[in-house]
Chains A and B, each alone.
Chain A
Amino acid sequence: MNTSAVTPTADLEVDAVQKTFGNHTAVDRLSFSVPHCSFFSILGPSGCGKTTLLRMIAGFIQPDAGDIRIGGRSMRGVAPNQRPVNMVFQQLALFPMMSVGENVAFGLARRGIGKAERTRKAHAMLERVGLTGSAAKRVDELSGGQRQRVAIARSMVLEPTLLLLDEPLGALDLKLREHMKIELKQLQAAFGTTFVYITHDQSEALVLSDHIGVMNHGRFEQLGTPQALYYEPATPFVAGFVGSNNRITGRIQALNGGLATLETADGWLIEARPQGNLTLGAAATAFVRPEAAVLARNAQSLPAALRPHTGCVESLLFDGANSAILVRETQSRVEFRIALPQTGQFSDLVTGEHIHFAFDPDRALCFADGVAS
């Protein structure tokens, strides 16, 4: 990643960090850096090593090898209570034995700041996160979203170089989670502090982040902007993990120009853009986004340049603007997900209906099987 021109040193530099538990490698010689003022997410399935990585940055676990630098300073041998980082815990870990105000002032008190000053700072911070007048409340009197804000306020009042967030939205219900996503992004922009966020929820990572590292088996599969991960996934794992994707496996039947033709076991032919080196006859997997496909009731209505496919509507997945259908392709019996156009066209489709579809091969990607993950 490029370091920003304004600050020559990145807020966080992870340099060849390694951690093994027994014979399980949780974090495998990982290197990356996070520039100042950015929102960086580490996205990965559970057990990919992201929590271990975060706890090493916070200082709760020592890396076996490699170095972590925060604000340009090596953190080797620096205890968690001496690091310029603060963490928002998964279950928030607010102190139930203290009031909201005392929670926020806790870190200030540990720095030896006087009572009057820390009360003033705690109140100012609570005001900033929209909790004016809540200082005297008990923690359990707050709603889930308010607690979240207290947890952030408690860390931010210490003005850390880096704020670590360990899936803080995981415990909230869906509606609140959507709301808090937006709020988190706005808070990060308002504070201008670098956030390092770990999650297994790709939608959270896409919405919130400036940059995302997709983690699997202790390594980054890909590091890039949300757009890059979505449109140009570097590995089949990223293609399958970020956003929804149709996955079609087969063998390379033809390679001409910029396109590869993939043939499934049942002889269904599809075209896709090759990602990496493909060889004729080799096993490969193609990924097609549901929104890349266009639907038509008759073959003539499909764009002439595209290879036409047919199928039968298997199920209707109505979800407002995210509605889709599952189509079973006629020849291969492969299940194919197609997003319905937002215009409301095809909203009258019924299960069992015969349908034509096509997709732009430039928006489909083909990976050779058996390389990297």
Chain B
Amino acid sequence: MTDNGPLWQRRLFLALLLAPALLWLLLLIVLPHVDLALVSFRERVAPREYVASVAQYTTFFTEPLYWNVFVRTAILSAIATGITLLVAFPVAWTIAKIAKGRQATLLFMVCLIPFWVSETVRTLGWMILLRESGVLPSLLVKLGLAAEPPELLYHDATILVGLVYTSLLFMVVPLVNSLESLDNALIEAAYDLGANGFAVLQRIVIPHAAPGITAGCIVVFMLTLGNYLTPNLLGGTSSQWFTEQIYNQFITRFNWEQGAAFGFLLLGLSTFMVWLGLKASGQRFADVMQRA
């Protein structure tokens, strides 16, 4: 019994420490999800009268519009993730390997500063730049590159630009972390053994940074897939992002059952894509999350 005393106390202490986090998880994540799951598996047959049903899910698979938007969102998110990786890698390499001390901190700050402004304001900033009467189209006219100001908003490319811009930091951080831990001697040793720049990148840098790359891609993909504001503002009505469908069901149509089902389908999609990404890169989830 004398030994159990301190152990019991330690357990209580641990429970108290974890309580806020556990309560937060339970009340704001687990309970709403359980409730939404229940909502998604029922059908309204009469006012305030519901029966258990998979009708909401059947609607999704039989209605091509929903299905198309779903696939389109997944593909565009994957493209945005890929572009973000390509843009972020040189940035992260510069911060981790080339810049020294204060310079590296400064570069990191430059990446961080846009995030001091809210996402709405940043996206509106893009709109000011890109709309027909905006800065960039009038500049193109002035330079003689266009006869009249082109409409740069409401294209898929515009949505991608906005998504990459919003996601960049979430890719740069895990990449910087994983590249910083790469011993420069390994790069030198590879050169010394006759490797060229491409072989060093392919055989040394990428295998070393793989957990960081995967972590960044998972985070960026999830953020992009679940983004509502950027596709909606930059893509307008033609954006066709799946989050808009969910919003419509909940708010416009007041069809909570359908909205809940869509929400779960999106959750399933992101889980599946993460699993696919881990499988394809041969990474383990625990290793990757340590880097993120």
Q: Which chain A residues in 85-102 approach chain B with CB under 8 Å?
A: 85-87, 89-91, 93-98
Residue among B183, B185, B189 with the most chain A CB within 10 A?
A: B189
Q: How far is the CA of A95 from the CA of B191 in the complex (A)?
A: 12
Which of B29-37, B109-117, B202-210 contacts its partner?
B202-210
Q: How far is the CA of A158 from the CA of B191 in the complex (A)?
A: 13
Is there contact, CB below 8 Å, between B186 and A95? Answer: yes
Is there contact, CB below 8 Å, between B194 and A158? Answer: yes
The answer to whether A24 has its CB under 8 Å from any CB of chain B is no
The answer to whether B190 has its CB under 8 Å from any CB of chain A is yes
Is there contact, CB below 8 Å, between A60 and B188? Answer: yes
Is there contact, CB below 8 Å, between B194 and A58? Answer: no
Is there contact, CB below 8 Å, between B185 and A80? Answer: no
Q: Which chain B residues in 165-193 approach chain A with CB under 8 Å?
A: 183, 185-186, 188-193
Q: How far is the CA of A107 from the CA of B183 in the complex (A)?
A: 19
List of B residues within 8 angstroms of A93 by Cβ: 183, 185-186, 188-189
Q: Which chain B residues in 189-219 approach chain A with CB under 8 Å?
A: 189-196, 199, 203-204, 207-208
Number of A-B contacts (CB under 8 A): 60
List of B residues within 8 angstroms of A155 by Cβ: 192-193
A81-B194, A154-B193 known; A97-B185 Cβ under 8 A? no
The tally of residues in A whose CB lies under 8 Å from a CB in B reads 25
A91-B183, A110-B199 known; A97-B208 Cβ under 8 A? yes
* CB contact between B193 and one of A60, A86, A90, A91 (< 8 Å): that residue: A86
The answer to whether A111 has its CB under 8 Å from any CB of chain B is yes
Q: Which chain A residues in 197-253 approach chain B with CB under 8 Å?
A: none
Is there contact, CB below 8 Å, between A81 and B189? Answer: no
The answer to whether A268 has its CB under 8 Å from any CB of chain B is no
List of B residues within 8 angstroms of A94 by Cβ: 189
Select from chain A the residue with minimum beta-carbon distance to B208. Answer: A97
Select from chain A the residue with minimum beta-carbon distance to B197. Answer: A81
A89-B185, A93-B183 known; A106-B190 Cβ under 8 A? yes
* CB contact between A58 and one of B190, B192, B207 (< 8 Å): that residue: B192
A95-B204, A97-B207, A97-B208 known; A107-B185 Cβ under 8 A? no
List of B residues within 8 angstroms of A86 by Cβ: 192-193
Min CB distance, A6 to chain B, in Å? Answer: 28
Select from chain A the residue with minimum beta-carbon distance to B200. Answer: A81
Is there contact, CB below 8 Å, between A87 and B192? Answer: yes
* CB contact between B195 and one of A96, A110, A154 (< 8 Å): that residue: A110
A91-B183, A91-B185, A93-B186 known; A80-B208 Cβ under 8 A? no
Select from chain A the residue with minimum beta-carbon distance to B185. Answer: A93
Is there contact, CB below 8 Å, between A106 and B193? Answer: yes
Is there contact, CB below 8 Å, between B188 and A89? Answer: yes
Is there contact, CB below 8 Å, between B191 and A80? Answer: yes
Min CB distance, B141 to chain A, in Å? Answer: 48
List of A residues within 8 angstroms of B190 by Cβ: 95, 106
Select from chain B the residue with minimum beta-carbon distance to A110. Answer: B194
Select from chain A the residue with minimum beta-carbon distance to B188. Answer: A60
Q: How far is the CA of A34 from the CA of B123 in the complex (A)?
A: 66
Q: How far is the CA of A248 from the CA of B128 in the complex (A)?
A: 82
Is there contact, CB below 8 Å, between A81 and B195? Answer: yes
Q: How far is the CA of A111 from the CA of B193 in the complex (A)?
A: 9
List of A residues within 8 angstroms of B191 by Cβ: 60, 79-81
* CB contact between A107 and one of B186, B193, B204, B207 (< 8 Å): that residue: B193
Select from chain B the residue with minimum beta-carbon distance to A91. Answer: B185
Is there contact, CB below 8 Å, between B194 and A87? Answer: no
Is there contact, CB below 8 Å, between A97 and B204? Answer: yes
List of A residues within 8 angstroms of B195 by Cβ: 81, 106, 110
Is there contact, CB below 8 Å, between A80 and B188? Answer: yes
Q: How far is the CA of A110 from the CA of B191 in the complex (A)?
A: 10
List of B residues within 8 angstroms of A158 by Cβ: 193-194
List of A residues within 8 angstroms of B196 by Cβ: 81, 110
Min CB distance, A155 to chain B, in Å? Answer: 7
List of A residues within 8 angstroms of B203 by Cβ: 95, 97-98, 106
Q: How far is the CA of A154 from the CA of B189 in the complex (A)?
A: 10
* CB contact between A89 and one of B189, B194, B207 (< 8 Å): that residue: B189
Task: Spell out B's residues near A (CB within 8 Å).
Answer: 183, 185-186, 188-196, 199, 203-204, 207-208
Offer 6 A-B interface pairs, CB within 8 angstroms, sorted by A. A60-B191, A81-B191, A81-B194, A81-B196, A87-B188, A97-B204
Since A95-B203, A110-B194 are in contact, a sample of 20 more A-B pairs with Cβ atoms closer than 8 Å, ordered by chain A residue number, is A60-B188, A79-B191, A80-B191, A81-B192, A81-B193, A81-B195, A86-B192, A87-B189, A89-B189, A93-B186, A93-B189, A94-B189, A95-B204, A97-B203, A97-B208, A106-B203, A110-B195, A111-B194, A154-B193, A155-B192
| 10 nearest A-B pairs in the assembled complex, by CB-CB distance | A107-B193, A93-B185, A97-B207, A110-B194, A93-B189, A80-B191, A81-B194, A89-B185, A81-B191, A87-B192
